[in-house]
A and B are shown apart, each in its own frame.
Chain A
Amino acid sequence: MIPGTFAYHRPASVAEAVALLASLGEDARPLAGGHSLIPMMKLRLAAPSALVDLGAIAELRGVRREGADVVIGATTTTAGLIASAELAAALPILRETALVIADPQVRARGTIGGNVANGDPGNDLPALMQCLGAFYRVVGPAGSREIAARDFYQGAYFTALQAGEVVTAIRIPVPPVGHGWAYEKLKRKIGDYATAAAAVVLVLAGGRVASVAIGLTNVGDTPLVADAAAKILTGSTLDAATVDRAVAAAEAITAPASDGRGPAAYRTKMAGVMLRRALARAATRATH
């Protein structure tokens, strides 16, 4: 359980980190919290020639408002997400999700940027970011750009991130005041990835669904957006028949692996159950 050798760099700025990654080549990797990368390195499933540690870059940390959006620095830890009063008020679903990621020690080190950028379909934040319509700010040799979370994931561990690019921040449009939210995660034990999980953000108007967004975790090679299910629910009163049809539509887009968490058919059904519970809980929290 000893990683291979690598050169270690600890830059003080994003510009320096990007320059280092460009000069060190494709075998160099950025290091954030390290709670995905270091275990992979210990198993020798990853053997980067160099690590560029982002931990000393102050500009990558913290939560701030930019107009109607919340912008979260990429190396803000999961514990930092939980501790932020601003996030608890503006994006309560983010806190609810962060609390079911891993365990306290892992949350003290793991970062939002690493969680979303790694492309691990088991991670909880990617589906949530898709549900929230978030954008990832990246900086690379060719400059900076924003990538929509919904366009970011191409396959397990394959993302739209180009060689040498680093995620620097996550920009999240704040849902309207009075929105309902829920993240429902079925897991075998603390620290496990989801057997299936569902994120729901909805807005009610006059007892009907004005808008709803649904993300699904760990029931495919990428996080999933259940747009067809959302379309079925929009305009409804969340009556049982409509919810049944929406759940069926969401289940139809899943393609989970059969593994220690259960056979594929079971995990698909659990995705439906998580969605059903998330819809019910989100509706009770919506205030309009």
Chain B
Amino acid sequence: MAKTHVTMTVNGQTVEGLVESRTLLVHFLRETLSLTGTHIGCETSHCGACTVDLDGQSVKSCTMFAVQAEGANLLTIEGIAHPDGTLHALQEGFREMHGLQCGFCTPGMIVRAYRLLQENPNPTEAEIRMGISGNICRCTGYQNIVAAIQFAAARLNAPALQEQAA
């Protein structure tokens, strides 16, 4: 089967590759680009471990072909921290509030929460829970994930701290 040339932007970098039409976006990210932070969990569009940000929306990269992302702008967990290596407020939040145990769902949770806080910078607890309803965690019972996102929202909404972070 002939391969297709794809070009897209991932974490600010232009990347390209040759893919089979059936190559899933998550496989392109992990195997061609070696960006293994994006996880494969259920492979059935349910668990959200493979969540990436694509043109300003959270998507499940196991349920898209890489060819469909031609020309798209993607953000993965590897692109969440600041360029100088300091952690994003969400990463700080997951660390401070114990938002993970085994950590398998964490990349998808953080990338999803990143978009949620862009859409709704000051969500209620219920809005957070609905916002991450496409991401499954089997360890935490979600309580500390919600707390981690609340921590990040508060941090991002505090002007003084924002300056400090910048």
Interface residues, chain B, with chain A CB atoms under 8 Å away: 1, 4, 20-22, 24, 43-46, 48, 51, 57-60, 62-65, 67-68, 70, 112, 116, 130-131, 133-134
Using Cβ atoms and an 8 Å threshold, which residues of chain B touch A7? 21
Using Cβ atoms and an 8 Å threshold, which residues of chain B touch A42? 43-44
Using Cβ atoms and an 8 Å threshold, which residues of chain B touch A39? 44-45, 63
Q: Nearest Cβ in chain B — how far from A139, in angstroms?
A: 22
A2–B22 Cα distance when bound, in Å, is 7
Set B20, B44, B46, B59: member contacting A108, Cβ < 8 A:
B59
Indicate if the CB atoms of A190 and B44 lie closer than 8 Å: no
Q: Nearest Cβ in chain A — how far from B113, in angstroms?
A: 11
Q: Nearest Cβ in chain B — how far from A146, in angstroms?
A: 29
Using Cβ atoms and an 8 Å threshold, which residues of chain A touch B112? 104-105
| Given A103-B134, A108-B57, A108-B59, A38-B20 contact (CB < 8 Å) | no
For chain A residues 17-51, which have a beta carbon within 8 Å of chain B? 31, 34-35, 38-39, 41-42, 51
Cβ contacts A101-112/B at 8 Å (1 or 0 each): 011111011000
Q: Nearest Cβ in chain A — how far from B24, in angstroms?
A: 8
Q: Does more than half of chain B's interface fall in helix, strand or loop, or is it mixed?
A: mixed
Using Cβ atoms and an 8 Å threshold, which residues of chain A touch B20? 5
Set B24, B116, B134: member contacting A190, Cβ < 8 A:
B134
Using Cβ atoms and an 8 Å threshold, which residues of chain A touch B24? 2
Indicate if the CB atoms of B134 and A5 lie closer than 8 Å: no
| Given A79-B57, A104-B134, A105-B59, A6-B22 contact (CB < 8 Å) | yes
Using Cβ atoms and an 8 Å threshold, which residues of chain B touch A276? none
Using Cβ atoms and an 8 Å threshold, which residues of chain A touch B67? 8, 10, 53
Using Cβ atoms and an 8 Å threshold, which residues of chain B touch A4? 22
Using Cβ atoms and an 8 Å threshold, which residues of chain A touch B45? 35, 38-39, 106
A108–B51 Cα distance when bound, in Å, is 12
